[in-house]
Each structure stands twice: as structure tokens, then as C-alpha cells.
Amino acid sequence: MTVYDVVVAGGGPAGLQFARELGARTDYRVCLLEANPSLADNDKSTGGTFEQVVDGFDVDESVVMGSSPGVVFEGPTARERLAIPNYVLDFPAFLEWLGEEAASDGVDVRTGTRVTGPLVEDGQVVGVETRGETIRANLVVDATGETGALTTELGMWDREAGQRGIGKEFEVSGTFDSDAMVFRFDHEVAPGGYAWVFPGDDRFKMGVCWVNDFYERHATDDRSIDDYLRSWLERDDRWQADEIHATHAGAVVSDNSINQRATDGFVAVGDSVSSINPLFGEGIRPGMESARMAADVAIDALDAGDVSRERLAAYERRWDGEKGWDWRLQRIVGELLYDFDAGQQDEFVRASGEFSQAGLDRLQQYDLSIRDLLRLYPARASDFLKLPRVARHLV
């Protein structure tokens, strides 16, 4: 049996950032456990992100594979360029860098170690079980992503209540004549979801994702996500693809993120409690923000020698205060957006092009007002039939 002050399960951006915070700010003994043989193997993200991550978390420029000054929204026929600066991370290198940062501050980063469940005594989480040993800790952190390896067993997150989606991406060498990220809302390319292209310095990333419920409504055949992605790669004349160097794929379980995030001896960060933004599916930024919020509260709790639910719930209240209502509203908008017909997709794109810079800043920060959302939304009389389905996200 091994003993630490803190054990973190999961080596994605949220878990690594939590460990990095504790390592840099305290002298507590921290251990991070990643199931894959290396941190770089946990390669499930597009790597698209914004200044709040690169500047806000002091990300080293060596792991940034590209940046651009704008984002392009596309519908089946409409196209609008939005002044939203962005970055594309070399995601495996980013994870390795986060791990090196944490390890340099004394965190014990252990790969090839799969957590199989929580260790609970008298109602309090006191450690984790792995396939090879029991590890005890004063505080346990679940950062295992959408599997929710600990939160689901503890009854803190109901994965079955969330909406499921999938995404697949190719990293391609060749030419893509664009200095902007592209997001395409078009059921011919991505039924019930969206597609993207992210430019890099010498490669570009392109992918397709969809929400399963809406894929079933809008797909005209039973092609796989790989079929849709390859079809788009082959028939769009904006790029010349020389070679596919890597393939990234992953599943998502998304809800409105108003979930229990703390219990006695335990906090959960990132997608182990569905922190992903429900409108555009961004995971890196909210995951790392959840880690920083949790770390602030965890350090105070550890310093006070009190890791009770009552103390740790301050993290949960902060998340709900900063994200909860916005995430709920965007959950509703996302539910409608991915069910738009082609005309609505084009109207949505054109409406985004009418936003002021202040409005674009709110869009980029997921801080849209009700007025913003009404301006974006191309209403149809038939949409009233959808109200019972979306109303559940308000309760």
C-alpha cells in the first residue's frame, strides 16, 4: 500500500493541470495515475483552443502547432469570417509538457497504471484501487474523462442521462489555403453535428463530430463517421492532402454540467463530470478551468485538515456560479443547432457575421446573453414542437 496526500486519476488536461497546480503551489505529496503507457497516448482532442488557455495557463510555445487570427463559420451555402484569434496545440506534446511541468515540481507522474475504483471507508473516499495496488490519499481527484471511472461508481454522475456523441479527426500534411479555423454546419458533411479544419504551420487537422440523437435524424444513409470524413477530405477542393499522419477519435457524454463535483475526500474535474461546453464541444479550456477552481478549494481544505464534502463543495458552487446557467442555455441552443435544417444552418452562420466585436468576444467566452442567443437563432413555427424536449435542460 502506497500513501500520498493527493492522488489524481487521469492524465488529460484537467488532471495534469490539477497536479501542476498542487505541485507548483504546495509541498503536498501528489501522485498522478494515467492508464496509457505514456501521456502522449491519451490523444483524443483536436487541440483547438484560445488565448485563455495559452496565456492563462502559461502554455509553452513549443507545443503550439499553429495560430490564426480568425474563425470561419460555414453552412451549406453561407460563409462568415469572425475575428476570434485561436491556437492549435500539438496535443500529445501538450500533455507531455504538462506532465513534465508537474513532475518538475515534485508530482509523481505514473503511466501504465489504470485506476479500477475508489477506496471508501465509513462513507469517505480515502484512496483508489488499481490493477496492481491500493493507493491511499487524503484527497482523491477523478480526471478520467468521459468514462467517469470514479464518479459513476460513487453515484455522482449519471452517464446514461447525458447525450452521446462521437468525433474523428485526421492530421494531414499537404496544403490548406486558409489562415482561419473553419467550423462547418452542414448535414451533408456532418449529419447532426459539425465539421472542422484547423490550420497548422506544416499540417492541418480536419474532423467530423455529431450527437448520436441528431445523426439518426439527419443522416441519409448508414455511412460511418470515417466514411463521412474521408468523403469530405476527397471532394473539397480547398486542400491538397499528401498524407494522413495521425487519426484521433473519441466519444463524448455531455449534459448541462450541473453535477455533483465533490464528496468527502474527493473532487472531480474535467469530463469525469461533463465539463465540456455543450454548444461547441470545447473540452480543454473548461477542463483546465475546472482543475484550477478545484485546486484553489482543495489547497485550502488540505491546509485546514478538512476534506469534507461541506468544505470541498465550495468548488462545486464556484463552477455552478460561473458556468452553470451559461452551460444550460448553451445546452438548449446546441440541442436546436444540431437539429437545424439546411436553411436554418445558413441563417445561423449569417447571423454570427452580424455580431459586433464585443458580441464575438462573448461568443468566444461562452458568455452569450439571451439577446445574443435570440439574434443567432433562426426560429421556425415548427420549433414549438421541440419545446418539451429542450425544457428538461432548465430543471
- Listing DSSP states for 310-355 in one string gives HHHHHHHHHHIIIIIHHHHHHHHHHHHHTT--HHHHHHHHHHHTT-
| Residue 383 banded pLDDT, cuts 50, 70, 90 | confident
Position 180 scores a pLDDT of 93
Cell of residue 382, nine digits? 415548427
% the chain with pLDDT above 90: 75
Determine the pLDDT at residue 332: 83
Grid-cell match 495496488, residue found: 133
Give the contacts of 237 (CB within 8 A, at least 6 positions apart): none
How confident is the model at residue 385, as a pLDDT? 74
pLDDT score at 392: 65
Place of cell 507545443: 63
Mean pLDDT of all residues in 338-359: 95
For the sheet containing 86-89, what is the strand order? 48-49, 86-89, 64-68
- Architecture of the domain whose range is 3-42+91-160+258-324: 3-Layer(bba) Sandwich (3.50)
Span 73-129, pLDDT tens digits: 999 999 999 999 999 999 999 999 999 999 999 999 999 999 999 999 999 999 999
The percentage of the chain sitting over the pLDDT mark of 70, rounded to a whole number, equals 98
Cα gap 386→375, rounded to integer Å: 19
Backbone angles phi, psi at 353, to 5 degrees: -70, -15
Domain locations along the chain: 3-42+91-160+258-324
DSSP code, position 50: -
Q: Which of helix, strand or coil describes residue 75?
A: coil
Give the N- to C-terminal CA distance of the chain in Å, as an integer: 43
Flag the least confident range among 16-25, 118-127, 150-159, 322-331.
322-331
- pLDDT tens for residues 288-334? 999 999 999 999 999 999 999 999 999 999 999 999 888 888 888 88
Res 135 pLDDT > 90: yes
Strand bridging mode 163-176 / 180-184: unpaired
The predicted model gives 343-359 an average pLDDT of 96
In sequence order, which residues have a C-beta less than 8 Å from that of residue 23 and are 6 or more positions away?
30, 101, 102, 103, 104, 105, 106, 107
